[in-house]
Amino acid sequence: MIEHEEEENLTPLGDLALQITALPRETNGFGDIYGGWLVSQMDLAGTAMASKVAGGRVSTVAIDRMAFLVPVAVGAQLSFYTQTLQVGRSSIQMLVEVWSDDPLSSEQRKVTEAVFVFVAIDGSGRTRPVPPRRG
């Protein structure tokens, strides 16, 4: 499914949660941005939005369906979009998409997406219910 989504989905889904510029310190020996660094930024964006839904602290418990579609070059402006897919008793499934604005071509391309699963936790790190959504 992900392989074909870049052709079908030409605009980001969800809300802008984070924007960051890819810097040289985040590259591998070939000059491309490390995938692990990108995943950590996705987790930050997803956590920020999931904590709003949960009304407090959340913890990442799973990442599902991830594929890197294109490499990320140094200097690319990365935009992280999130969309809540499902809210359970204590869990939140959040789609996180990453889009790149190439500074040389001004082209916007989808880099990757993944479904992150977060769980609402209390101050002691124990699972707690997600409060009901307001109006």
pLDDT digits (tens, 9 = 90+) for 71-103: 888 888 999 999 999 999 999 999 999 999 876
Using CA atoms, how far apart are residues 76 and 33, in angstroms rounded to an integer?
A: 10
Which letter, b or e, does each residue of 15-35 get, where b requires 16 or more Cβ atoms within 10 Å of its Cβ?
eebbebebeeebbeeeebbee
pLDDT in tens, 30-80: 888 999 999 999 999 999 999 999 999 999 999 998 889 988 888 889 999
**Residue-level pLDDT at 32:** 84
**Residue-level pLDDT at 74:** 87
Residue 134: pLDDT band (50, 70, 90) is low
Neighbours of 104 (CB within 10 A): 8
Using CA atoms, how far apart are residues 132 and 74, in angstroms rounded to an integer?
A: 42
Using CA atoms, how far apart are residues 129 and 20, in angstroms rounded to an integer?
A: 32
**Residue-level pLDDT at 114:** 96
Domain 15-120 class? alpha beta
**Residue-level pLDDT at 108:** 87
Residue 132: pLDDT band (50, 70, 90) is confident
Q: Residue 8 pLDDT more than 60?
A: no
pTM: 0.87
Residue 4: pLDDT band (50, 70, 90) is very low
Q: Residue 6 pLDDT more than 60?
A: no
Using CA atoms, how far apart are residues 47 and 92, in angstroms rounded to an integer?
A: 10
Give the pair of three-digit tokens for residue 100.
């790149």
Q: Which H or E run includes 94?
A: strand 91-101
